[in-house]
Amino acid sequence: MKKKFSFLFYFLLGFLSFVWLILRSGTKPSRIHYPCQQMAAIYTKQWFGIFLLPVLGLGVFQKNKKKIFLAVSTICLVFLIFLLSNFQKTGAEDPLPLQITPDQNTNTSSDIFVLKNTDGDEVADLISMMEEEGFFFYKTETSPQGLIGKDDVVLLKVNAQWPERGGTNTDLVKSLITQICDHPLGFEGEIIIADNGQGRGSLSREKSNAKDISQSMEKVAEYFQEDYQVSTYLWDEIMGKEVEEYEKGDMEDGYIVEDGEDEDTGIIISYPKFKSRFGTFISFKKGIFDQDKGDYEKDHLKIINIPVLKSHSIYGTTGAIKHYMGVPANGLTGSNPHNSVGSGGMATLMTMTRMPVLHLVDAIWTNPYGGPRSSYEDALMTRTILAGADPVALDYWGAKNILLPSVDPDRVKSGFSPDMMDPDNLQKRRAFGYWLELTLSEFRRNGYNFTKDPEKIKVHMK
């Protein structure tokens, strides 16, 4: 009885996997990149080998049925070979090089601002450099294009997933908050330090990335609370609860999950909505909810993305782009958004929810040896911070000019290859250069003119 059940179970699993491949990838073979499609391809291959091919070989069907059966089987087999050849290419260690679309926007450049010899306390110097070049941090009457208005709600997206040097430098966050509060018109808004560490997060760590390692993100917020509205929110605490948006009458904290996965990158969009410690209702995508008006103030929510630049054991390099994995929920969507990083999913997430007004990349301490976890002993002090609006340019320049030159071969962790951090490495699937190209394409499809062309990245340095 058990043998019959096992036979039927595996037969149906393989057959349904094959049907799923036809329906899902038949019209768009590039979907074979998706994790669910790769598993379906494996089950389908086993089904053909274990069940279908032996039947063909034995010829158990009657003659009047055999021709029809062989014709249908041949079509199925050709289709399977087509899909599986695509599957093998995408899953191989050394796939064919990416076909790069030339940059059509030849008259544009991306400005990035690099401040060296910093412990994290010198954000004022960085802002001064930015404003000297016409990249205004403060929104005032004389600089209406500035990033931060006096009454904005500013969400600081930090890395709270890792202790020690793996998380965002708290001295840097404290210095940034000081500058926001020193707004020339007087700051009357609100600041929230937030992250989703996917179940590992903490904003009150005993071992933080700072000169005083006991200075957690929570302590940074407490430092300002006597005079300003500064708080923290750990989205780990709500990532398992699916809710509706505020305008639908749902005032509970939780995660919005949008329908369907993106056709190009495979990600299912999800994002947090929550009430801050000071009573502000915030939708990460839609903005600040006004209960009296029943509507959102979209332009008063500003995101500043503050990642740590370091190596990543799966994706080579983590920086401004990969850091957005701290926005979605991991379990609610039925798929892991982390798997979409390699196909450009973080670009989909940024453009379909909320684009940061600024990326402030923390390279005060970094780890080029096999992160993202980074102990005090593993970290390397590079004393650099980067800022700009183009995450592609920032990550490209940071990997090329900070991570790669700092590699000590004797300290590289077992199993990690430093060339995976190379933004020009288009040969290995999941290498930084490989998925950076896909991410750039996704940004451009959604209307953002970012670049990784060194000739179009304008670097301002102090």
Does residue 173 register a pLDDT over 50? yes
Is there a domain that residue 339 lies in?
yes
- Same domain membership, residue 142 and residue 7: no
* pLDDT classification of 332: cutoffs 50, 70, 90: confident
* pLDDT recorded at residue 335: 79
Note whether residue 103 is domain-resident. no
Q: What is the pLDDT of residue 193?
A: 98
Quote the crossing angle between the two packed helices 432-445 and 391-398, to the nearest 10°.
170
Averaged over 155-179, what is the pLDDT?
A: 98
73 and 79 in contact (C-beta within 8 Å)?
no
Q: Is the bond into 372 cis (omega within 30 degrees of 0)? A: yes
204 and 124 assigned to the same domain: yes
Q: How far apart are CA 454 and CA 462, in angstroms?
A: 19
> Could you tell me the two tokens for 394?
């920032």
Which pLDDT belongs to residue 23?
Answer: 58
The strand pairing partners of 302, in sequence order, are 154
Last residue of a domain, one of 58, 91, 124: 91
Final residue belonging to a domain, choices 64, 91, 118: 91
Overall average pLDDT of the 271-285 stretch:
98
Q: Are residues 66 and 171 both part of a single domain?
A: no
Of 305 and 96, which is predicted with more confidence?
305
Residue 379 within any structural domain of the chain: yes
On the question of pLDDT at 87 being above 50, the answer is no
Q: Which residues, listed in sequence order, are joined to residue 192 by a DSSP beta bridge?
A: 155, 231
Which tokens sit at 8?
A: 């039927």
Same domain, 256 and 356: yes
Domain boundary (91, 122, 144) is at 91
Residue 100 lies in a domain: no
| Strands ordered across the beta sheet of 190-195 | 229-234, 190-195, 153-157, 301-305, 358-366, 380-388, 110-116, 457-461
My answer on whether 314 and 442 are in the same domain is yes
C-alpha distances in angstroms, 244 versus 34, 100, 355?
A: 27, 40, 21
Residue 98 lies in a domain: no
Q: Containing H/E element for 79? A: helix 63-91
Rounded average pLDDT over 35-48? 59
Q: What range does the domain containing 363 cover?
A: 110-461
User: Does residue 119 share a domain with residue 84?
Assistant: no
Q: What is the separation, in whole angstroms, between the first and last Cα of the chain? A: 75
Whether residues 117 and 86 fall in one domain:
no
Share of the chain above pLDDT 90, in %: 74
Which tens digit of pLDDT belongs to each residue from 303-328? 999 999 999 999 999 999 999 999 99
When divided into structural domains, the chain yields a total of 2
**What is the band of 333 on the pLDDT scale with cuts at 50, 70, 90?**
confident
Question: What is the residue-wise DSSP string for 317-376?
Answer: EESTTGGGGGSS-SSTTSS-GGGGGGGTHHHHHHHHS---SEEEEEEEEE--SS-SS--T
Q: Are residues 84 and 116 in the same domain?
A: no
Residues 61 and 147 in one domain: no
d(CA 3, CA 196): 45
Least confident range from 22-31, 143-152, 271-280, 412-421: namely 22-31
Task: Identify the CA nearest to 250 among candidates 278, 303, 277, 286.
Answer: 286
Q: Which of 13-17, 270-274, 359-363, 457-461 shows the lowest mean pLDDT across its residues?
A: 13-17
Averaged pLDDT for residues 235-246: 97
- Claim to verify: residue 196 and residue 248 sit in the same structural domain: yes
* Distance (Å, whole) CA 378 – CA 105: 40
Copy the structure tokens of residue 189.
């808004």
Residue 395 to residue 401: CA distance in whole angstroms: 10
Burial class (CB in 10 A: 0-12, 13-18, 19+), 451: buried
Which region among 47-56, 354-363, 397-406 has the lowest average model confidence (pLDDT)?
A: 47-56
421 in a domain, yes or no? yes
Average pLDDT, the chain: 86
Tokens coding 395? 């990550």
Alpha-carbon gap, residue 357 to 370, rounded angstroms: 30
Residue 102, domain member (yes or no): no
The gap from C-alpha 171 to its chain's centroid, in whole angstroms, comes to 24
Same domain, 293 and 178: yes
Q: Is residue 385 part of a domain?
A: yes
Exposed e or buried b per residue across 356-384, where buried means at least 16 C-beta atoms within 10 angstroms of its C-beta: bbbbbbbbbbbbbbbbbbbeeebbbebeb
Residues 253 and 173 in one domain: yes
By the 8 A CB rule, do 75 and 68 touch? no
**CA 214 – CA 224 distance, rounded (Å):** 17
> Which amino acid, one-letter code, is at 157?
K
Mean pLDDT value of segment 87-100: 39
- For a pLDDT cut of 70, what percent of the chain falls above it? 77
